[in-house]
Amino acid sequence: MNRAAALIGIAIAMLCSACSQASAPLPNAAIAAAQQGLLDSGSTHWRTLPSTNCLNFGVASDGVSALWVPAACFERFEYRHRFIIRIGLDGTQHRFMTPTAESCPGGPALGPNGNIWFAEGCVGKIAEIAVPSGPITEFPLTSSKEAPWCVTAGADGNVWYGATNRRGTAAVIGRMTTTGSFVEFPLTLTQVVTAITRGPDGNVWFVGETYNANTQSYEGHVGKVTPGGAITEYSIPSSNGGYPGGIIAGPDGNLWVAATNGIQPASEIVKVTTAGQMTEYAAVDSGSIALGGPRSLYFSAGDLGQITVGGTITMHAHKGVYVDHLTQGPDGNEWLIQQGGNGAVNVYIP
């Protein structure tokens, strides 16, 4: 069994975390109210909120007042893979259950209609939750054996998603209307789509991986799809980009990719122009990536990493913080969600 198939079979819910969209900051008064009394002792840059006590699989901002986290939560002596957690700026939480049991929600993003959309990898569905309090609506794909990993809002007003088969040997990019009608476009190079985002050129961009049986290694790919479904795929040159885990449109008009070769600490951040030209920067254990201001981006690297559009990397370490998923919140800060342990929730205030 190859790595992709193993990942899909064991935990479809470990879906992409780079599908979230940036949003305008809240008024200063609202930010101050949310942060009051929440700064860690001795720190001016970090605050810790109540943990979710769940296994978290991505995070997205609704651009208004909350972060949304797909999760598997421990109930009745077992983890149940069917929760969406709404986290307010003050740390308050509310759980919602997907209509389908063990749906493995993940890969969330703010949709074109203002709701949060996410993939349900274990049951072959794309779903949305109405902001701010539900309900959840599910849209089945062609087959329950199809495993969607992540979603994003396209410039065309549709929801776009990446999906693969259960064996991890073939992938598609799908385009879905907000009423659930969809069409899928097969990929040529990429076997597993791991992240997807709206590009600065009006196209949808994605990253993924392919197993090369000849070299017994994994090759990373970056691709784009036009609103009409025309697909172009590019290979990441370095083997350190074999497992790309996140992609986002940067403030400089380029795409930025977080990738690893699966062997710490050999990882990299890749800058990709809309013409497919790539520049690679060595990093440590990079997995997901998010906007970080007018001239930089943040990425997960165990600790929190920051890279400027010129390629300078800075690490922001803080005791007790391990970053799995991150996004820029509606308050303009970086929200960091830990997947394992007790689902720690931390906020980095630049």
Q: What is the pLDDT of residue 33?
A: 37
Place of tokens 């981006």: 297
**How high is the mean pLDDT in each 10-residue block of the chain (350 residues)?**
42 41 37 40 71 90 96 79 94 95 95 97 96 97 88 98 91 97 96 96 96 86 97 90 90 94 74 97 82 89 88 85 89 87 84
Tokens of residue 312, six digits: 């300078």
Q: How far apart are the first and last CA of the chain?
A: 43
Tokens of residue 303, six digits: 């600790």
Distance CA 16, CA 182 (A): 20
Residues 311 and 279 sit within 8 Å (Cβ to Cβ): yes
60 sits in which H/E element: strand 60-61
Q: What is the pLDDT of residue 321?
A: 79
Q: What is the pLDDT of residue 218?
A: 86
Q: What is the pLDDT of residue 287?
A: 74
Q: What pTM was estimated for this model as a whole?
A: 0.87
Q: What is the pLDDT of residue 9?
A: 42
Under DSSP, the state recorded for 288 is -
Domain ranges of the chain: 3-348
Distance CA 166, CA 187 (A): 15
Distance CA 342, CA 302 (A): 16
- CATH homologous superfamily of domain 3-348? YVTN repeat-like/Quinoprotein amine dehydrogenase (2.130.10.10)
Q: What is the pLDDT of residue 113?
A: 97
Q: What is the pLDDT of residue 22?
A: 37
